[in-house]
Amino acid sequence: MRSLSILGATGSIGASTLDLIRRERERWRVVALTANGNVGDLADLAGEFGAELAVVADERSLPELRERLAGSGVEAAGGAQALVEAAARAADLTIAAIVGCAGLAPTMAAIEQGGVVGLANKEALVSAGDVMTAAVARHGATLLPVDSEHNAIFQCLAGNDLAQVRSITLTASGGPFRDWSAEQLAAATPAQAVRHPNWDMGAKISVDSATMMNKGLELIEAWHLFPIPLADLRILVHPQSVIHSMVEYRDGSTLAQLGPSDMRVPIAATLAWPARMDTPCAPLDLAAIGELTFRATDEQRFPATRLARAAAEAGGAAPAVLNAANEVAVAAFLAGQIGFTRIPAMVEDVLARYAPPAPASLTDVTAIDAAARRHARALMEPA
Ligand code: NDP
């Protein structure tokens, strides 16, 4: 029996993870499940899986959580510190699936207990970069990529030395707007942006996918997980989302990982690693799919990947600034405060205005994240 905690249990990744755990209940003991404020779902899940602890990040929700869990034997806690303490509880595997930089401190706490961390929360690695990878090395933790592209790369590398790799290609669906004109993009609505053609995901990553910032964040994530020269990390639009990424070796051989567009596949690879487990996902039917197509990214219409590559090249604090500005811009877009094409424009503006020194600690990263958010919000205030 292995022990498991899920940070962000009530989200899309949390639900997919628990769906797999539900099918193998006898193999797992659930330690901690966390949410932000979705008390109803969190209490139900904690009860169903017999979790030791349920935590809401938003402390105002704690009284309701306590009430719902009364008599269940599940401990209830609330607030940012409680979230970090939950992540620090010993578990064989922690799935880091909080959305945004809000997941950084708990993810770092999970890393510091030296176990295996399945990382979905890409914003945490993008923001903290070397601070996080250094913590992984220092504490002897294992970081397994849950993101489908990075999980695909991890599988294609199969333990091979990165010195044997010529290039890595991250595939991108191109999002719901991949064929839209600049004029159409300017008028895109939140409802249209969250309707992804291939994947069913949370709202924030769906918007990131529509702007292609998701691929930009993934480029930075890949660079930290698989450190090869940035120029050898490529992005390729592949609308069918069947090939999840590829590794080209120096002898000219390219390995690709294929699978259905269902996050339960990379999550299962993480849960069972280094073995394999069954999933209920429909097998890949390539004859029915018929064609796999590819095209280059269009950074005129979708500048986010250019901004992310430049932030990675600049290094230091730039990826954290890019991420924070993007989080503010996406939230503003979802709230109807700014238009779709303002998202990358705001990110570019904040990067031009705010260039702090490189962070050396989690405290530095958190301070840079907070300051970059203030810069981004200031851009939205009437002149
Ligand atoms: P969702 O929005 O569906 O879920 C987010 C989870 O984080 C929820 O449990 C939510 O709680 C919790 N949460 C939100 N804000 C906070 C906060 N401030 N403090 C603590 N917890 C918080 O997101 P996804 O599951 O789609 O994505 C999670 C992460 O995984 C993201 O980083 C995303 O980029 C990454 N990812 C997602 C994929 C997908 O298919 N969905 C694919 C690959 C990566 P509550 O329910 O209470 O709001």
For residue 299, the tally of other CB atoms under 10 A from its CB is 15
Low-confidence ranges of the chain (pLDDT < 50): none
What DSSP string describes 224-267? HHS---GGGEEEEE-TT--EEEEEEETTS-EEEEE--S-THHHH
Among residues 119, 75, 128, the alpha carbon closest in space to that of 98 is found at 119
Contact at 8 Å (CB) between 46 and 25? no
Q: Report the distance separating Cα 262 and Cα 259, nearest Å.
A: 8
What DSSP string describes 97-116? ---SGGGHHHHHHHHHTTSE
Ligand 1 centroid – CA 361 distance (Å):
24
Is the C-beta atom of 202 inside 6 A of ligand 1?
Answer: yes
**pLDDT, position 200:** 84
Atom of ligand 1 nearest to the CA of 14: 25
**pLDDT, position 198:** 83
Two tokens, residue 97: 């699936």
Q: Hey, what CATH class is 2-145 in?
A: alpha beta
Q: Report the distance separating Cα 261 and Cα 240, nearest Å.
A: 9
Query: How many Cα atoms within 13 Å fall on the side-chain side of residue 200?
Result: 8
Ligand 1 centroid – CA 104 distance (Å):
12
Work out the end-to-end distance of the chain between its first and last CA atoms, rounded to an integer number of angstroms.
59
Q: Hey, what CATH class is 315-383 in?
A: mainly alpha
- What residues contact residue 139 under an 8 Å CB cut-off, 6+ apart? 111, 112, 113, 114
Q: Which amino acid is at 255?
A: L
Among residues 314, 347, 315, the alpha carbon closest in space to that of 329 is found at 347
Is the C-beta atom of 113 inside 6 A of ligand 1?
Answer: no
Atom of ligand 1 nearest to the CA of 200: 40
The C-alpha angle 145, 300, 235, rounded to 5 degrees, equals 25
- What residues contact residue 301 under an 8 Å CB cut-off, 6+ apart? 180, 181, 182, 185
Atom of ligand 1 nearest to the CA of 13: 25
Sheet holding 53-56, edge to edge: 75-78, 53-56, 28-35, 2-7, 93-96, 116-119, 142-145
**pLDDT, position 199:** 81
Q: Report the distance separating Cα 239 and Cα 21, nearest Å.
A: 30
Contact at 8 Å (CB) between 233 and 219? yes
Contact at 8 Å (CB) between 302 and 212? yes
Residue bearing the CA closest to ligand 1, atom 41: 201
Atom of ligand 1 nearest to the CA of 201: 41
Cα 373–chain centre separation: 19
Q: Report the distance separating Cα 298 and Cα 203, nearest Å.
A: 23
Contact at 8 Å (CB) between 121 and 146? no
Is the C-beta atom of 263 inside 6 A of ligand 1?
Answer: yes
**pLDDT, position 113:** 95
Atom of ligand 1 nearest to the CA of 148: 43
Mutate to test the pocket of ligand 1, among 61, 98, 244 (most ligand atoms within 8 A of CB): 98
Q: Report the distance separating Cα 77 and Cα 32, nearest Å.
A: 10
- What residues contact residue 241 under an 8 Å CB cut-off, 6+ apart? 171, 173, 198, 199, 261
- What residues contact residue 171 under an 8 Å CB cut-off, 6+ apart? 149, 235, 236, 237, 238, 241, 243, 244, 245, 246
C-alpha distances out from residue 278 to 23, 97, 264, 265, 330, Å: 9, 22, 10, 9, 36
What digits encode the pLDDT tens for the residues 184-241? 999 999 999 999 888 889 999 999 999 999 999 999 999 999 999 999 999 999 999 9
Residue bearing the CA closest to ligand 1, atom 15: 36
Residue extents of the structural domains in the chain: 2-145, 150-314, 315-383
